[in-house]
Each structure stands twice: as C-alpha cells, then as structure tokens.
Structure 1
C-alpha cells in the first residue's frame, strides 16, 4: 500500500480521490484549506489538516506531520487550484499573483519539499487544464488561471528532465470539463459529460501505474472536441 498526498481535497476530484485511495487501503494525507469535509468521513486511512499552499506557516505543519508519521511518499497529486474568472482589464496584479501563489508557486514549493521523500518509483502527478495547453480553445476571463495551468505543464517537463536519473517520475494531466464546483463557478449552468468520481477514478489508476509508461509527459484528458 502506498503513502499518497493529495491537495485540494475538500471537494470535487480531490475529495473523490481521497476516498478511492483510502477505500483501497492506501494511506492518504488529504490537504485543503477546509479539511472539514474529509474529517467528517472518519476514514482510518485518511489523515488531514487545514493547509493553504500560499501560506508558509502551513508548510511547517506539513513538516511536522511527515517527520512524525511518514518517512516516504509514493505519490503526490498536485490537485489544488485557485480559479479567477474576471476580465483581464479588471484584474489587479495582486489578484493575478494570488492565483499564481497557489497554482504555480505553491505547487513548486510542495513538490520541492516532497521529492526528497520519494524513491525512483515515486510519481508526481500535477493536474492542469486544457485551457493551459498551447493551441487549445481559450475562454475570456481566465488569463490568470489558464496561464498558471500552462506554467505547471512546463515545470513538469523540466522536473522530469532534472530527475530522470534518480526519479521520481513527473507527469501532468490537462483535464477537460468535469462536473465540479469549480466548473460551476467558472461557467454557471454548464453541464459536463464527466463526473468528479469518473475523473478521480482515472487519475487514481494513472497515479499508481502511469509512471511505468510516462515521464515528463502532458496527457490531455478530455472527451470534448476540439
């Protein structure tokens, strides 16, 4: 059984991922700013505490947990994300930076902290968006969000190259529309053809096995066209 860290676990895909892994017997550290939904599950295989990727103090809580409980991390799923749907000319640089502090800098800091605890067979899976893929369909109002999701695609490629001799493996999944709370915030009334549980099932399997076949790769996980 694996030790797995999942960010953004209070709802949507992250919440479903935590349940799926735990039900299979894996040990899960579920991190999110609001840990109440996960705590309410009372699942013996899930540990959780409030964690904000943009808060340096919360990384000290993570250090303490890992030092006391885990000597190795097998899978890190960078799932947390901050969404801003706002016209570019109305977006302050402070708001732009807030998105990047979570979606880019927070992902980089957490990954940097966890890599030393991972073996060659470890796997870092970062969740991006089709909006961050060059040449994909773009939507107005998502300048900060989609560009931040493009950044983690390139970071993943760079990490895979830098650690190709020692491991772990790094891959990034660019998701299409999934029926989550975040999707409703971005596109009110839109109904996606994929549920959070369906996507979580795919990500779970990929995080456990995808590193046997992929490293430094962007996989577009979308059933819509273009």
Structure 2
C-alpha cells in the first residue's frame, strides 16, 4: 500500500511539472554600440576589434548566439535602458548608468585619451591648458572626472571621432579628445595636419555591461566565468596583444 501511494505521488508531481508553463529562454544576445576602431568594428564579415574579439571568444565558450547592431553611443544607452538591447562593451561606471546597467566583474583594458590639435599651437601639458580652448568630444561618451571641470559651453559634441578630428583640422574647434589608439588609427587611415599633445587624460576602467531589463541578466555569472577562463588560459592576453 505504501509503495502504491509513493508511486501515485511521483506520478502526480510529473503531471504537475508537465502542465507548468516553460519559461522562455533567450535565444540571441543583442549587442549594441558605436563603431570605434580598433575597439569595436562592424563590417561585412561580422563584428570585430579588441572588445568584440574578446566577447566573441567568451560567447564561443558558452555556445551563445550574438547579434550585433551598430548605433550611436547615446542611442545604444537608450536601448539598454528600455531593454531593447542586452549588452554593451566598454562603458565607464557612473551612478546614473548603474540605475539601468549591471556592471558585474568584467573589466576591459583602460585606454588613455589623447588630445589632437593643429601644429604650432601652445602645447597642452596639463588640464588647465584647456581653459579657453574649444574642445570637441563624442556624444554619449564619458571622459573621466578630470574633464568635468571644464565649462559645458567649451565642449562641442559630435557623433564620431573622425568628425571630431576633421573639425580641428578645419579650425572650427581647437582640441579633439580621442582614445589614443583610435585617434592614431584614424590619422593613419586619413592623414590630417594634426599633432598629438604631450598630456593625456588618464584612462578609466571600462566594463562589459548588461541591461537590467535583459533576460540575459540571469546568466551574467556565466559570462564572467567565461572571461575569467580566458584570463587563466592566456586567451585574453593574446587578443589584447594584437592591438598594441
């Protein structure tokens, strides 16, 4: 009798489990961001660059499907806030962003920001040398606490760093602030009569972030373990070395 009762209970649990709705699992991890070579590159053969190479390797280890979408930084942040995208690469940490972004433990290599000007200008050797100059930056990007001391009216925002450098070359502004590797790459691809100043804005730590409204938030720990395994086996170091 006891054995029959146990079997009935087991059968009842199985029927209950079968009737419960299956929670939908996300199929595609939606990645958004602006094109910022050599960090984020969008091309006909897929997404690449330093940040996306790291992400592609982590996704391979987890057997994840990624869908990349190139959008301006400000729009990408709005998509993350609305839950229309899942992940961004290379975000600096702020209290405002933490309200809708989960930063986790994945830190990307920090990058100093270089200052590009026309030749024969007074050198920029410290932050105070920017006072009185017209500075151009990319819309939606952060440049650390140091730049926040400049008056807002001294800053011009554009959608991409190439436009920023072109504005300096044409004399419309005085200084463009660009991540150093990216600025050097842009000038190599499109030579302009510009020089790099001796002073740098120190790089702050960028992160891999997930939208707090993303269904992938439940797998953030899995992503972190995949990136950690890349550190442990040398894959992370090998990828970063290709961009030095």
So what's the TM-score if we normalise by structure 2? 0.28
Q: Please identify which structure carries the higher strand content.
A: 2
Identify the structure with bigger relative contact order (alpha carbons < 8 Å, sequence gap 6+).
2
So what's the TM-score if we normalise by structure 1? 0.30
Q: Considering only CA atoms, is the larger Rg found in Structure 1 or Structure 2?
A: 2
Q: Please identify which structure carries the higher helix content.
A: 1
